[in-house]
Chain A
Amino acid sequence: AQSVTQLGSHVSVSEGALVLLRCNYSSSVPPYLFWYVQYPNQGLQLLLKYTSAATLVKGINGFEAEFKKSETSFHLTKPSAHMSDAAEYFCAVSDNGRGSTLGRLYFGRGTQLTVWP
Chain B
Amino acid sequence: EAQVTQNPRYLITVTGKKLTVTCSQNMNHEYMSWYRQDPGLGLRQIYYSMNVEVTDKGDVPEGYKVSRKEKRNFPLILESPSPNQTSLYFCASRTSGGTYEQYFGPGTRLTVT
Q: A-side interface residues toward B, CB under 8 Å?
A: 9, 32, 34, 36, 42-46, 49, 51, 90, 94, 96, 100, 103-105, 107-110
Contact = CB atoms under 8 A, between A and B. Distances in A.
Contacts, number: 51
Contacts of B99: 32, 49, 51, 94
Contacts of A105: 45, 100, 102
B94 A42 contact: no
Contact of B101 (A34, A43, A100): A34
Given A43-B107, A104-B48, A9 B40 contact: yes
B95 to A, nearest CB: 9
B86 to A, nearest CB: 17
Nearest to A42: B106
Contact of A49 (B31, B40, B43, B101): B101
Give the dominant DSSP class at B's interface: strand
A90 B106 contact: no
B68 to A, nearest CB: 15
A34 B56 CA distance: 23
B102 to A, nearest CB: 6
Interface of B: 4, 31, 35, 40-45, 48, 56, 90, 92, 94, 96-97, 99-107
A44 B90 contact: yes
B34 to A, nearest CB: 13
B101 A109 contact: no
A13 to B, nearest CB: 21
Nearest to B45: A104
Contacts of A100: 56
Contact of B105 (A43, A46, A109, A110): A43
Given A49-B101, A100-B56, 5 more contacts: A45-B104, A107-B42, A107-B43, A109-B42, A110-B42
Give the top 4 A-B pairs by smallest Cβ distance, nearest first: A109-B42, A44-B104, A94-B100, A107-B43
B13 to A, nearest CB: 20
A58 to B, nearest CB: 16
